[in-house]
């Protein structure tokens, strides 16, 4: 089959138009690819930052757990000391109460000197040392 000059020029123009269209689409694809590469790079960076943040948070959580355990231990020690102090205080209080009871029971009523009432003082005034 023989092609005329105009047929060849026509085919050449069609090919050039296709090449232009493909290059234009290729440009769009490359731009889209660049956009996704930038997006992917940002995601990787964000992921790296999140991993670092997560690691830092895990360390903080571990520190807080250790601090909580230390506080619980101190609280248990304080509670033990408080219980010991309460028991000692109760023991001393019971001992003092027992001593008071034994002191009261050991005193006889004859040993105590009764003080005169105001009425008795009016009836029988006390003697002064200068009065004969």
For residue 64, CA distances in Å to 73, 74, 77 come to: 14, 15, 20
pLDDT exceeds cutoff 70 at 25: yes
Instruction: Round to whole Å and give the CA distance between 107 and 14.
Output: 135
Tell me the whole-structure pTM to 2 decimals.
0.45
27 is written with which tokens? 């440009």
pLDDT exceeds cutoff 60 at 108: no
pLDDT of residue 112: 54
Q: Mean pLDDT throughout 74-102?
A: 90
pLDDT of residue 116: 66
pLDDT exceeds cutoff 80 at 129: no
Residue holding tokens 């005329």? 4
* Percent over 90 (pLDDT), the chain: 63
Taking the CA atoms of residue 100, residue 103, residue 109 and residue 113 in that order, the dihedral angle to the nearest 10 degrees is -90
Instruction: Round to whole Å and give the CA distance between 73 and 81.
Output: 12
* Percent over 70 (pLDDT), the chain: 77
- Between 32 and 119, whose confidence is greater? 32
CA 107, 108, 110 angle in degrees (round to 5)?
A: 130
Given pLDDT bands bounded at 50, 70 and 90, which one contains residue 128? Answer: low
């Amino acid at each position: 089959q023989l092609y005329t000059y105009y047929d060849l020029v026509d085919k050449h123009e069609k090919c050039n138009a296709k090449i232009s269209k493909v290059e234009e689409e290729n440009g769009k694809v490359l731009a889209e690819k660049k956009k996704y590469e930038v997006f992917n790079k940002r995601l990787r960076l964000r992921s790296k930052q999140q991993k670092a943040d997560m690691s830092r948070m895990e360390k903080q959580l571990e520190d807080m757990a250790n601090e909580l355990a230390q506080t619980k231990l101190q609280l248990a020690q304080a509670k033990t000391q408080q219980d010991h102090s309460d028991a000692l205080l109760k023991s001393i209080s019971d001992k003092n109460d027992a001593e008071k009871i034994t002191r009261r029971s050991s005193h006889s009523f004859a040993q105590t000197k009764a003080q005169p009432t105001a009425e008795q003082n009016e009836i029988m005034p006390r003697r002064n040392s200068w009065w004969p």
